[in-house]
Amino acid sequence: MFLFDLNPTQRENAIAALGSESFDVLVIGGGVNGVGAALDAASRGLKVALIESQDIAAGTSSRSSKLIHGGLRYLEQYDFKLVREALHERELLVSTLCPHLVKPVGFLFPLTEKFKERTYVGAGLALYDALRGFARTLPWHKHLSQKQINEIAPSLRPDIILGAIKYFDAQVDDARHTLSVARTAARHGAIIATRMSAESLIREGKQIIGVNAKDLVSGKSIAIKATVTVMCAGIWSDALHEKFDLIPGYNVTMSKGVHIVLPGSAIKSDAGIILKTPVSVLFIIPWGDKWIVGTTDTPYTGDRAEPLANREDVQYIVDQANRVLTPQIKFDEIIGVFAGLRPLVANNKNSATTKLSREHTVDRPAPGFVSIAGGKYTTYRIMSKDVIDLAAIELRKLIPESVTDKLPLVGADGYFALVQQVDRLAEESGISAESITHLLNRYGSMISEVLELIKENPTLGKKLSPDLPYIRAEIYYAASHEGAQSIDDVISRRTRIAFEAHNHGLNLAESISEIIAPVLGWSTKERKSSVAAYESLVERESVAMDEILKEDEKVSS
């Protein structure tokens, strides 16, 4: 079995291998589709490398609605294939592939009319449940009366909500899940290097035989040789096709999805809520002791690297939620805002993003080069399989079929048994049962590695902050096992402090830097530089948020 810790030593070894070895498959892109492709290829016995210019899940894959779902609204578009496929993947993830990270969550579909709407929505949810087939980890939908709704969700307006239908989907920490896929790929032999940018293609006649890459840490250039290059670049697809002088069979249209984060006290409900809006749907999603509310779906042509929410985005979310909530959401209750970009496949860049398909496209613009774009987070495994199936043709040899539908991610093995041993684990480790449960739902059976750190250094068992569930060992582990190389990596993706804390975790940046500095071998200057870089990022986001709040003050006055 291969080592799958991601840390400075692993990265050093990975860079050496990239420059000295030849690969069957080189994957460009460290989002969920890229790491999924690396896992699919590695688990088939292929020699695989993956490079990512930023951090694992740095883009869209850390900024989703955090849902693993069939896509209820796609039924209205008669996209039954996509819904059935997504529901099948949802069942696999909840039951087998990643049960420690993917959890069932109940949603209420509020009804404002007694008979016609209930019949129509009920029929749709019956079809939704039926499309998942015989594998039914999640409960069947059920109809609720107005009295039941008043008890379950006091925040739903009793003057207009006359009942509801409750159904189930699942939710996930998207960044953590993407990282788990990456570590599983490494476990099966994939060579992974972040902060490694693809600069140009290596050609031999018309054949593409690899990539010239640049190590963004050292500045050195590396020629990486591979039989086939697989690009999973999402919203960067068009830019990279142009950079590589390739003519693709598709274009990618970007759609901005914005979410706001609220304290648990803002909404009183024992379940999530889904609302149909004039252009899409709005989810009110429970997230620990907080709520995530979103999303928008608007065309975007700005900076891919740092999409920011604007006044119109937040106003839309608040207005749509307030149609059914009492008391109403107030702007000054908003803890955080995050924006992500969906890569939607389109032939016409002027297409309305809400009308574009969430299905994916695989393409071969040149011999030795394939790419994929589009799709939904939920169906990443299918997308990964499809792009490696196409890449396999370039290898000119028989390779095994994909086995990722039977391959649990790291941490999944033994999870259900460990859940029943929380009290024992708490007693042995000296940390609270609450913290053990928190760790199990983030690391699964990999909790043993985190607890081992605490055993070696008991101070790591202390909480990072009284207001957050994270302990200091998780911060250390982010750098020693999970490839974090900066304060931003830790705060924004290894944890979700960036949007869970009122100040984006800025007051924790210094203490986090002190915990990870020994792992990363940082000097005092390097430590301060990483803190400053995160402060600069927060400043840019804070300016955008201040503008939103100022606009609200103008409107209120």
pLDDT in tens, 391-423: 999 998 899 999 999 999 999 999 999 999 999
| pLDDT of residue 118 exceeding 50 | yes
Confidence of residue 557 (pLDDT cuts 50, 70, 90): very low
Q: What is the mean pLDDT of residues 426-440?
A: 97
Q: Does residue 168 register a pLDDT over 60?
A: yes
CATH topology of domain 415-545: Helicase, Ruva Protein; domain 3 (1.10.8)
Which CATH entry fits the domain spanning 8-61+175-250+354-406: 3.30.70.141, 3.30.1330.80, 3.50.50.60, 3.40.640.10? 3.50.50.60
pLDDT of residue 353: 40
Residues 6 or more apart whose CB falls under 8 angstroms from that of 111 comprise: 117, 118, 121, 161, 162, 163, 164, 165
Per-residue pLDDT tens digits for 236-246: 999 999 999 99
pLDDT of residue 347 exceeding 70, the answer is no
Could you tell me the fold of the domain covering 103-170+253-349? D-Amino Acid Oxidase; Chain A, domain 2 (3.30.9)
pTM of this prediction exceeds 0.85? yes
pLDDT computed for residue 351 by the predictor:
43
The domain segmentation of the chain, as residue ranges, is 8-61+175-250+354-406, 103-170+253-349, 415-545
With cut-offs at 50, 70 and 90, classify the pLDDT of residue 135: low
CA angle, 115 then 119 then 121, to 5°: 120
Query: Sign of the CA dihedral 432, 434, 438, 441?
Result: positive
Structure tokens that stand for 480 in this block: 């020693």
Tell me, what's the pLDDT at 439?
98
Distance CA 204, CA 206 (A): 6
As a whole number, mean pLDDT of residues 467-481 equals: 97
Taking a C-beta distance cutoff of 8 angstroms, is the pair 373, 387 a contact? no
Residues forming a β-bridge with 363: 371
CA–CA separation, 374 vs 351, rounded Å? 14
pLDDT value at residue 366:
95
More confident call, 487 vs 352? 487
Q: Which residues, other chains included, contact 216 with Cβ-Cβ below 8 Å and sequence gap of 6+?
A: 53, 195, 196, 197
Structure confidence at residue 348 (pLDDT): 45
- Name the range with the highest mean pLDDT among 57-66, 134-143, 342-351, 352-361: 57-66
